[in-house]
């Protein structure tokens, strides 16, 4: 059962996994705050569509999550217009593939800022309100790379491992206040981000696109299938339900068996 009347902020929700999660939570009666980049008209269509189809309040913040002051502005907007954030999904992320000795420093800084540091800032600002209400859900979007490593992904693997640590600390600090924090660890999901990874990996390893999909990506997943955004959205919604009240600080794989090996 999903508690009614809650407000969910989903970062990186103008496409891919984040968009699917926002849609699922809206379907279950949550007010939604979207965040991300994209064409203004498309984002407005998404926002208005959620509000109309599911009868919820839907807002949007275009905050650049690599800037702490922009994150603070987004969280103040959520407090002012929605009464605060009850469900926080830290989903925004970016990827770059290159050997360590060739990894651009600017790309390292960007990935750590967006994939890890942004989650710290949203969490630190959402927690006081959640504790005061005696209820909150924080879902961090990890990866199989929060548990295992792959070559050429030093910044991404580092960020996701760090996010696992942040999840556990947040879970412990929120436990007595009705706040739960968990890490969803998907395998490969066919999203625009993964399309970019396919192209980058092909270039880095001198492979064709089909070779990357068959011999690199799906090779890691025993089911030989991509995870779908709808499956991840359903998992996230479950973690917000009362059935998941005792799931806290967990690293939850949805990777077709990748990390079982």
* Rounded Cα–Cα distance for residues 82 and 185 (Å): 29
Hey, what long-range contacts does 70-74 have (CB within 8 A, 24 or more apart)?
71/118, 71/121, 71/122, 71/125, 72/121, 72/125, 74/9, 74/33, 74/35, 74/122
> What is 7-186+228-253's CATH number?
3.40.50.720
The count of other CB atoms within 10 Å of the CB of residue 23 is 21
List 60, 77, 152, 156, catalytic entry: 156
Return residue ranges of the chain for CATH 3.40.50.720.
7-186+228-253
What is the sign, positive or negative, of the torsion defined by CA atoms of 204, 210, 215, 221? positive
pTM of the model: 0.93
Task: Tokens for 42, please give them.
Answer: 């498309």
Helix (H, G, I), strand (E, B) or coil at 1: coil
Active site residue 60: no
pLDDT per residue, tens digit, the chain (261 aa), is 776 789 999 999 999 999 999 999 999 999 999 999 999 999 999 999 999 999 999 999 999 999 999 999 999 999 999 999 999 999 999 999 999 999 999 999 999 999 999 999 999 999 999 999 999 999 999 999 999 999 999 999 999 999 999 999 999 999 999 999 999 999 989 887 678 878 888 888 899 988 998 888 888 899 989 999 999 999 999 999 999 999 999 999 999 999 998
The 3 state secondary structure assigned to 141-201 is ECCHHHCCCCCCCHHHHHHHHHHHHHHHHHHHHHHHHCEEEEEEEECCECCHHHHHHHHHH
């Amino acid at each position: 059962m999903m508690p009614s009347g809650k407000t969910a902020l989903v970062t990186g929700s103008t496409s891919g996994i984040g968009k699917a999660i926002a849609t699922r939570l809206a379907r279950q009666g949550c007010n939604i705050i979207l965040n991300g980049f994209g064409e203004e008209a498309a984002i407005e269509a998404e926002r208005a569509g959620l509000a109309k189809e599911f009868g919820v309040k839907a807002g949007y913040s275009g905050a650049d999550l690599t800037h702490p002051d922009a994150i603070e502005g987004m969280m103040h907007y959520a407090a002012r217009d929605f009464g605060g954030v009850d469900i926080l999904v830290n989903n925004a992320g970016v990827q770059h593939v290159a050997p360590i000795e060739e990894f651009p420093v600017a790309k390292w800084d960007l990935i750590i800022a967006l994939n890890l540091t942004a989650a710290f800032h949203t969490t630190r600002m959402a927690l006081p309100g959640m504790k005061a209400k005696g209820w909150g859900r924080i879902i961090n979007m990890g990866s199989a790379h929060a548990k295992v490593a792959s070559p050429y992904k030093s910044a991404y693997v580092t960020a996701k491992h760090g996010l696992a640590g942040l999840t556990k600390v947040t879970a412990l600090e929120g436990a007595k206040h009705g706040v739960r924090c968990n890490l969803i660890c998907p395998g490969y999901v066919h999203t625009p981000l993964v399309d970019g990874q396919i192209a980058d990996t092909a270039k880095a390893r001198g492979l064709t696109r089909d070779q990357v999909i068959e011999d690199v990506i799906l090779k890691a997943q025993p089911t030989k299938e991509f995870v779908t955004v709808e499956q991840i959205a359903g998992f996230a919604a479950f973690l917000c339900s009362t059935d998941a009240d005792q799931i806290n600080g967990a690293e939850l794989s949805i990777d077709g068996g990748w990390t079982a090996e």
